[in-house]
Structure 1
């Protein structure tokens, strides 16, 4: 199953589970994958920023990808992050994961790029490096400092191997509207736009025409419902119950620790371990997260077991 421009809905970004000693936790990987499929994920994304990809060696990365793909067994597309400082590493990882059965890869620009021409030229070369794999363009200037205007994105999306935009610019709602208008007018090749940022603006993004979300908030059921049913009044009420935790989850640096703590509390992964160097929750921070979980449990049955 190759990724194409028909993709829609909630693509859940999965963390990389580790044992307390920092080794890969493959049983947790299998359980996590099964749970995400059971929650209605339309796709999975692995080895991104949340997946701690730079902390894995090549053999570990392939071992993790293989475990996820074995469990998925073609049920949904699996996208693998392959961003790297150089094209040789990107090319090698792409070849291996596509041979294993990945649906496509995701590429973010390196932090040194300047200007629209520099960005567009980089992605032209990156596209050749991962060819013939379909790929997702990640627009996340908060992480890499590279701003891509709508004109640059339109030029990049003219490459037919680019089959999706992960839109994480902030503020980015008007950008989504502008890109969707360009698609409707025929001045941009139509590709799906999926939001990110822990789902912080997901209802608004859907109202602006986004086709789904690609993020790893620890209650994927919420993301699935919003994408499948739209931001109805009932869905808004449920979303607002989660907003304080989504805000906490979206903190730069600490967000990974928050997310893994919640996933461990839910039994989706066995341990909240992040591989060093990694942020850790202080006792006070952990208590604050647990309090937010107790508040969600009062309003949303999916958190009832955490009350």
Structure 2
């Protein structure tokens, strides 16, 4: 489980490094296997380069060496992506997640050349190829992904989140070249069991239910599929609602759980009214026994 961390803001709308440290603490206390920042769920399109850099340093400092960090490096151009990759390396991060921008086109040759240019400019990085659905992503087909990966040894993982993702994950896992270490699921963990059944090696959901997602992962890997399915079914209503409200939902839940003190978002997401909030809170109450981390209590005494 490698959750994508949200970007916290102050009431005035500035990025909040102190709150960012609290989010990292929460994720680590939940037992995650790594963290991702920034990604789509981080409102990355609403951040300046300086804000990204500031918060990435907070993540690196707070995590220390405890779990791997995947730095988001997607950008409108290869030159900008290269800059993000170099910044990640300067922070000791080797894994970068990159979605090919629409500006390079959607042909296999163009996308492959885009990743090749980045790898050549930043030796030593390991790329997570993010394949998001249209209209945001390129919606690449599995055969195209396999050709792109085959031509680019620096691509060590694929994050597959086109819909439906199942057949694509099966095809990529079955045809992957030796240097591809695995396929990671997306879609906010809404299809987690199916993704794991098809060979996904992990998932990158949002962070607000990280302790439950970790429990699903551990149950599945231990062979207790019934337990994994039960946990999945109990959280699915929340994930369905999260699909509509995205970062606003994440920040509401994190506020409820004591991780954040406000729900300020910059991204243009649908507003939640009182009935939406009441429904979310009812489902949170129904899952309260599964939430093993209480952010209102000290979580990582003596943290980095």
- Pick the TM interval, shorter chain: 0.7 to 0.9
Tell me the TM-score normalized by structure 1. Answer: 0.87
Aligned mate of 1:196, from 186, 190, 193:
186
Cα separation, partners in 2 of 1:277 and 1:202, compared to 1, 3 Å: closer
**How many pairs are equivalent?**
290
Q: Which residue of 1 aligns with 2:298?
A: none
Contact 2:173 2:182 in 1 (8 A): no
Give the superposition deviation at 1:153: 1.2
Q: Does 1:80 align with 2:71?
A: yes
Contact 1:124 1:156 in 2 (8 A): no
- Quick one: distance in 2 between partners of 1:199 and 1:150? 20
* Structure 1 range deviating more: 227-236 or 111-120: 111-120
* Structure 1 range deviating more: 40-49 or 211-220: 211-220
- Quick one: distance in 1 between partners of 2:270 and 2:246? 9
Q: Which residue of 1 aligns with 2:27?
A: 36
Q: Which residue of 2 aligns with 1:6?
A: none
Aligned mate of 1:238, from 231, 245, 259:
231
SS at match of 1:141: coil
Aligned mate of 1:223, from 175, 197, 213:
213
- Quick one: distance in 2 between partners of 1:190 and 1:94? 19
Can you give the 5+ residue segments of structure 2 that lack an aligned partner in the other structure?
296-304
Cα separation, partners in 2 of 1:288 and 1:180, compared to 1, 3 Å: same
Aligned mate of 2:281, from 290, 298, 302:
290
The Cα offsets for residues 70-120 of structure 1, whole Å up to 9 and x where unpaired, read as 010111111111111122222222212220122321101213423333332
Q: Does 1:301 align with 2:290?
A: yes
- Quick one: distance in 2 between partners of 1:88 and 1:179? 28
Contact 1:182 1:188 in 2 (8 A): no
Contact 1:218 1:262 in 2 (8 A): yes
SS at match of 2:71: strand
- Quick one: distance in 1 between partners of 2:14 and 2:263? 13
* Structure 1 range deviating more: 260-269 or 62-71: 260-269
- Quick one: distance in 2 between partners of 1:262 and 1:14? 13
Give the superposition deviation at 1:143: 4.8
- Quick one: distance in 2 between partners of 1:18 and 1:160? 38
Cα separation, partners in 2 of 1:276 and 1:140, compared to 1, 3 Å: closer
Can you give the 5+ residue segments of structure 1 that lack an aligned partner in the other structure?
1-9
- Quick one: distance in 1 between partners of 2:178 and 2:134? 25
Q: Which residue of 1 aligns with 2:86?
A: 95
Aligned mate of 2:203, from 204, 207, 213:
213
**1:246-261 → structure 2 map (5 Å cutoff):** 246-251=239-244, 254-261=245-252
Give the superposition deviation at 1:292: 2.1
- Quick one: distance in 2 between partners of 1:216 and 1:141? 17
Q: Does 1:180 align with 2:173?
A: yes
Root-mean-square deviation (CA), in Å? 2.2
* Structure 1 range deviating more: 222-231 or 238-247: 222-231
Give the superposition deviation at 1:54: 2.0
Tell me the TM-score normalized by structure 2. Answer: 0.88
**1:38-53 → structure 2 map (5 Å cutoff):** 38-53=29-44
